[in-house]
A and B are shown apart, each in its own frame.
Chain A
Amino acid sequence: DAKTTQPTSMDCAEGRAANLPCNHSTISGNEYVYWYRQIHSQGPQYIIHGLKNNETNEMASLIITEDRKSSTLILPHATLRDTAVYYCIVRETNAGKSTFGDGTTLTVKP
């Protein structure tokens, strides 16, 4: 699996959009981009994933650059409950091994 690079931490004001970047410059053609988040003391929770096109669901939007070397997770209206560690990973469809990096600690402030 390709490696990912994320900023260690970010702050966001409550009610504003949180934009979390991820670099995955060595991504290969059959690897998807996934985002998970982990709230303290819980297991990671799936947010969204995509291959080439931008994706949106009830939780977030995922913007993938045309060359697929980076992506951005967007939480449109961050709340205090969105404070968590956010992980960006890339993996193949049937890949057994899935490697997580250190993630970005997002702190939403009142």
Chain B
Amino acid sequence: DVKVTQSSRYLVKRTGEKVFLECVQDMDHENMFWYRQDPGLGLRLIYFSYDVKMKEKGDIPEGYSVSREKKERFSLILESASTNQTSMYLCASTPQGQGGNTIYFGEGSWLTVV
């Protein structure tokens, strides 16, 4: 089975701290994504990557950056955390190729910024 693992399930950080959210997938998928999910707002795409060292902005990239140095790992970085970044963050991956490709999600990381 495909496994998408997010390193931290629950985090509490202070305003202004630099925060790293790590995500690893074990199925050699090309595409990886970071979403955030807030009550009543569904899943909103922050950034995605379709290859190592490649990244593209999603719908809400402001205040975030990403890093993809290795194919299996996609990191979300909050350079200076703010309280409005308190949210649940979801990492996902999917392969490229012909035919429909399922997106596989991690279990989520709950971040609280105080």
Contacts and interface: CB of A to CB of B under 8 A. Distances in A.
Contact of B45 (A32, A50, A99): A99
Interface in A64-110: 87, 93-94, 96-103
Contacts of B59: 99
A36 to B, nearest CB: 7
A42 B31 contact: no
A9 to B, nearest CB: 12
B16 to A, nearest CB: 28
Contact of A44 (B40, B56, B58, B105): B105
Interface in A1-54: 32, 34, 36, 41-46, 49-51
A94 B103 contact: no
B97 A43 contact: no
B105 A45 contact: yes
Contact of A96 (B50, B98, B102, B107): B50
B45 A97 contact: yes
Contacts of B40: 102
Contacts of A34: 100, 102-103
Interface residues of B, number: 33
A35 B42 CA distance: 14
Interface residues of A, number: 23
Given A43-B108, A87-B42, A103-B42, A96 B101 contact: no
Contact of A42 (B33, B56, B94, B108): B108
B48 to A, nearest CB: 5
Interface of B: 4, 31, 33, 35, 40-45, 48-50, 56, 58-59, 88, 90, 92, 94, 96-108
Closest A-B pairs by Cβ, 7 of them: A43-B105, A100-B43, A102-B42, A32-B100, A96-B50, A49-B100, A46-B102
Given A34-B102, A98-B48, A102-B41, 13 more contacts: A43-B92, A43-B106, A43-B107, A44-B90, A45-B105, A93-B96, A93-B99, A94-B96, A94-B97, A96-B48, A97-B58, A98-B103, A99-B45
